A and B are shown apart, each in its own frame.
Chain A
Amino acid sequence: MVQVSRHDIVIVGGGGAGLRAAIAAAEANPKASIALVSKVYPMRSHTVSAEGGAAAVARDDDNFELHGFDTVKGSDFIGDQNVIEYFVEQAPKELALLENWGCPWSREEDGTVSTRAFGGMTIKRTWFATDKVGFHMLHSLFQQSMRYENIVRYDEFFVTKLLTENGACKGVAALEIRTGDYHAILGRAVILATGGAGKVFPFTTNGAIKTGDGMALAYREGVALKDMEFVQYHPTGLPGTGILITEASRGEGGYLRNKDGDRFLVDYDYGVGKKAELGPRDMISRAIIQEFEAGRGIDDEHGLHASLDLTHLGEAHIMAKLPFVRELARTYVGVDPVHQHIPIRPVVHYMMGGVDTNIRAETDMPGLYAAGEVACGSLNGANRLGSNSLTECLVFGNSAGVHSLEYASGTNEGNEASLRAQAEEEAARVDSLRGSKQGDEKIADLRVEMNRVMEAGCGVYREQETMKIAEKGMHEIRKRASSLHLQDSSKVFNTELVAALELMNMVEVAETLAVSAAHRKESRGAHTCRDFPHRDDQEYLYHTMAYRTEDGPRLDRKDVALGHWEPQERKY
């Protein structure tokens, strides 16, 4: 039997964006009931792993125009300029609120908040709490959220379906992981805040929970996934694990070196100019791969890699600004950055694409909102600037919370019997999957195959031929994912069942990624085609929209919102 509960707003995901949305809605109307549904306890959300900082204008020599232009240029001119303008204007207020809520931002002697340099940013505007910014933001938000009695948490509930009525979203169906029971959590509006989908790739900074759940939920209901071809490779991940070494390492003065010990970003022309190590992520990741191809990579027990040199910063500076980097390097590659270079290589980090949204965090489906990495409001375009994404969670989490509440007050709560019936049907589907011996595909093996296909086809450098192979490969893997072989028939905390559902989400998302990538025959931002090495504004200055069909994604296009920043050659 499905258990039914009713709220005004249902938020899926308890990371930075979900918590911010919950607090915004709870404050806007203390009488509104806000459900916060997450497959993990909120403090486990992947926001916790963000390290370097959050961007917002904070100094007298900075302004919105500069932050805006840096972001547009970083996006390779495919970010929506109205969204970017809104974002940079809202950003300082949001980070100040976090301060008021206890976030331990690092400080100057005069008591003001410190800022640091970051890639692609012309001014120091990245607020930081040493190098555990995501952790501190997440915990500050989570702890703050506990004051609001009208935020009702559903911890370790896995949402598997959106419930709809006449094309509008009216709630979610969720598996209570601990008991195996099914719930219809009804609301007049639903906000997706489930994060990205890095786990479709084998080598990623992302935690195990980043499986594209919210993207798949929306996509199955006919909402477009936008700009999925743009995948950010972070230049500095630890070999083997993919653990993130923050860009703040370079913001604080670190160098990237090749096997000859040369600062290749200075010695060779990779388009980053004087910015060198503070160039944008897409360009630096490409530079590292080119160093490998030129035979200047380092090949040892860590595999092929380049190195990050912090030794000249000194122990005191590293301990004051980058203590977590030191802890990670020591623990996971056995290197002390005070004395040794850290082995690094480009690693999948962030999805610029996601559920198509606008400035109000609305999707095309009435009552459905999205914020944070799951969404593509087109802030980031073809390449996100480091430290814009934590702020994005706050700005658009707030937008989603406020606007969904406005919408909810003017719409009906839906027909409970019909919504319950949809949840019953979903419960039956998932029940039949639990312990199902129908198919013969193993979850772990199929996941590895998906990872292999995606890495081969949609890496830092792409080619038509390999992308087409990935497209075909993902199409087949998606089909195969409907015949999984499961062995665990227990109802209690069945993580095999959850893994199966997550895999089914990932294959949908990965297929849109491969298809969208093969379609874009140009190089823009993070999408770099060897056979089409130039940006082509004549043909491709638009957003890619992927709609679900049984046979695979159907692609469409959407105009980019241009503005007063004219597209120009992207050189630093």
Chain B
Amino acid sequence: MSEGKKTIKLEITRFDPDVDEVPKTEEYEVPTEPGWKVLDAVNYVKDHLDPSLSHRWSCRMAVCGSCGMMVNGEPKLTCKTSLDEYGDSIKVEPLANFPIVRDLVVEIDGFMDKFKSVKPWIIRAKERAEDMENLNERGTYSQSPDELSAFKQFSMCINCLLCYSACPVVANEPEFIGPAAIALGHRYNTDSRDEGAAERNEVFRGEGTVFSCSFANECSEVCPKNVDPASAVNQAKLGAVVDWAKGLILPRGGA
């Protein structure tokens, strides 16, 4: 376990658009308990020092994806990040590369649109009612463990958006569809039950998508769930090119 109680200094970005023209920093003295995560310290400020502090959090077990923040300049899931990793002074800021709504809360409308643009659902050539020949007696598609493991990793994204904060392309080109959205599209493209790769590859060949990636690999380094979006982007590039080349020979991707 970690060492005993200590008091740390937490520097937190504060911004209320009703009052402030630009974000500012406030300092708080936080008496911590052994085992605390960064989120616990932020919650302490909210509960005991300044109830006007705004931040998002819920599950505190690294699965709801709400509590991403910059901690000492790096994007972190604050409920998973131990205070022990830091010294007596920690700087907490809203996730980089997103507009700030207030304090530690960022606006993610843009991400939600990008997310939807990759058609993150199973696409089948036939409607379910006409697809019965492919379903077993339990009403499910057959999928082998190997077919499952082909995409499983890319289905583990919790949409915490740390990868967008870390991505140098997102920083320069806000329209870039970004690591999580590409990984999600690729997740469906590699699912043996899906028949929609041609549609998604068309999205991927558009401007500001897979070919904008500079392969800095930052996304995979900060991902708290080991999704490895960088590898998804690389594979998706290949898929989009192959699909495009097929289209040159056979109209409609050969389908």
Task: Check if A and B associate.
Answer: yes
Q: Which residues of A contact B (CB under 8 A)?
A: 40-41, 43-46, 48-49, 58, 92-93, 96-97, 99-102, 104-113, 132, 135-136, 139, 143-144, 146-147, 155, 178, 207-209, 240-241, 243-244, 301, 324, 327-328, 331-334, 442-444, 486-488, 490-496, 499
B63 on the A face (CB < 8 A): yes
Tell me whether B61 and A101 are in contact (CB under 8 A). Answer: no
B interface residues, tally (CB under 8 Å) = 65
Q: B65 and A43: CB pair below 8 A?
A: yes
> A516 CB to closest chain B CB, in angstroms?
27
**Contact sample, A vs B, 21 pairs, CB 8 Å cutoff:** A41-B112, A43-B158, A44-B65, A93-B139, A100-B128, A100-B135, A102-B193, A102-B194, A104-B155, A107-B143, A112-B142, A135-B158, A136-B155, A143-B121, A146-B115, A207-B60, A208-B57, A444-B46, A486-B51, A492-B16, A494-B52
> B121 touching A146 by the CB < 8 A rule?
yes
Return the CB mask of B79-117 against A: 1 if under 8 Å, else 0: 010000000000000000000011101011000100110
Rounded to whole angstroms, the CA-CA distance of A291 and B195 in the bound complex is 55
> Which residue of B is nearest A135, CB measured?
B63
Contacts of B46 in A (CB 8 A): 444, 495
Q: How far is the CB of A295 from chain B (nearest CB, A)?
A: 24
Residue from B35, B61, B115, B140 within 8 A of A96 (CB atoms): B140
Interface of B is mostly: loop
A437 to chain B: closest CB distance in Å? 12
| Any A CB within 8 A of the CB of B13 | no
User: In the complex, what distance in Å separates the CA atom of A113 from the CA atom of B152?
Assistant: 15
* Structural contact, B141 and A99, CB atoms closer than 8 A: yes
A44 touches B151 (CB 8 A): no
For residue B101, which residues in chain A have a CB less than 8 angstroms away from its CB? 178, 492-493
Q: Give B161 Cβ to nearest chain A Cβ, in Å.
A: 11
- Flag if A44 contacts B58 (CB, 8 Å): yes
Instruction: Check A208–B58 contact: CB distance below 8 A.
Output: yes
Decide yes or no: A100 and B61 within 8 Å by CB, A41-B108, A139-B155, A492-B17 being known contacts: no
- State whether the Cβ of B242 lies closer than 8 Å to any Cβ in chain A: no
A58 and B139 CA atoms in complex are apart in Å by 10
Q: Kindly provide the distance from the CB of A343 to the nearest chain B CB, expressed in whole angstroms.
A: 11
Question: Taking A143-B121, A144-B121, A444-B47 as contacts, is the C-beta distance between A49 and B140 under 8 angstroms?
Answer: no
Interface contact B142-A106, CB-CB below 8 Å:
no
Q: Given that A207-B59, A492-B102 are known contacts, is A487 also in contact with B51, CB under 8 Å in the complex?
A: yes
B148 interface residue per 8 A CB criterion: yes
Assuming A111-B143, A490-B102, is B120 touching A104 (CB within 8 A)?
no
Q: Which of B108-147 contact A (CB under 8 A)?
A: 108, 112, 115-116, 119-122, 128, 135-136, 138-145, 147
Among residues of A, the one whose C-beta sits closest to the C-beta of B152 is A104
In the complex, given contacts A48-B64, A331-B62, A492-B18, what are 11 additional A-B residue pairs having Cβ atoms less than 8 angstroms apart? A41-B112, A48-B63, A49-B64, A100-B141, A107-B143, A135-B158, A143-B121, A207-B59, A208-B60, A491-B18, A493-B102
> Given the complex of chains A and B, what is the CA–CA distance between A155 and B107 in angstroms?
12
- Expressed in whole angstroms, the Cα–Cα distance for A443 and B48 within the complex equals 10
A490–B19 contact, CB under 8 A?
A: yes
The 4 closest A-B pairs by CB, nearest first: A111-B142, A96-B139, A488-B52, A444-B47
B55 at the interface (CB under 8 A from A): yes
Encode B36-68 as 1/0 by CB contact (under 8 A) with A. 000000000011101111111111111111100
Partner of B138, one of A43, A113, A136: A113
CB neighbours of A49 from chain B (8 A): 59, 61, 63-64
**CB pair B102 A44 closer than 8 Å:** no
Q: Which residue of B lies closest to A327 (CB)?
A: B62
Asked if B191 is an interface residue, CB under 8 A from chain A, the answer is: yes
Q: Is the CB of A101 within 8 A of B148?
A: no
For residue B1, CB closer than 8 A to chain A, the reply is: yes
Contacts of B19 on A, CB cut-off 8 Å? 490
By beta carbon, the residue of chain A nearest B43 is A208
B159 part of interface (Cβ distance < 8 Å):
yes
Q: Is the CB of B1 within 8 A of A334?
A: yes
Determine the residue in chain B with the shortest Cβ distance to A134: B63
Tell me how far the C-beta of A113 lies from the nearest C-beta in chain B, rounded to whole angstroms: 6
Query: What chain B residues lie within 8 Å of A111 (beta carbons)?
Result: 142-144, 147
CA of A257 to CA of B64 in the docked complex: distance in angstroms? 31
Most buried by A among B47, B51, B108, B191: B51
- By the criterion CB–CB under 8 Å, are A107 and B138 in contact? no
B188 within 8 A of A: yes
**A147 partner residues in chain B, CB cutoff 8 A:** 119, 121
Give the residues in chain A near B34, CB-CB below 8 Å: 301
* Complex Cα gap A49–B79 (Å): 14
Q: Which residues of B contact A100 (CB under 8 A)?
A: 122, 128, 135, 139-141, 193
Cβ A44 vs Cβ B64 within 8 A: yes
Q: Report Cα–Cα, A321/B77, bound state, in Å.
A: 24
* Alpha-carbon distance A104/B188, docked complex (angstroms): 11
CB-nearest residue of chain B to A139:
B155
Q: Residue on B with the closest CB to A147?
A: B121
Q: Find out whether the CB atom of A301 lies under 8 angstroms from the CB atom of B1.
A: yes
Q: Which residues of the other chain, A, contact B115 by a CB distance below 8 angstroms?
A: 146
Interface string of B206-228 (1 = CB under 8 A from A): 00000000000000000000000
Is the Cβ of B122 less than 8 Å from the Cβ of A112? no
- Tell me if B51 and A496 are in contact (CB < 8 A): yes
Interface pair A493/B158, CB less than 8 Å apart:
no
- Interfacial chain A residues near B59, Cβ < 8 Å: 44, 46, 48-49, 207-208
User: In whole Å, how far is A218's beta carbon from the nearest beta carbon of chain B?
Assistant: 22
Closest Cβ neighbor of B184 among chain A residues = A143
Chain B residues lying within 8 Å of A207, measured Cβ to Cβ, are 58-60, 64
Q: With A135-B158, A331-B80 in contact, do A99 and B140 touch (Cβ < 8 Å)?
A: yes
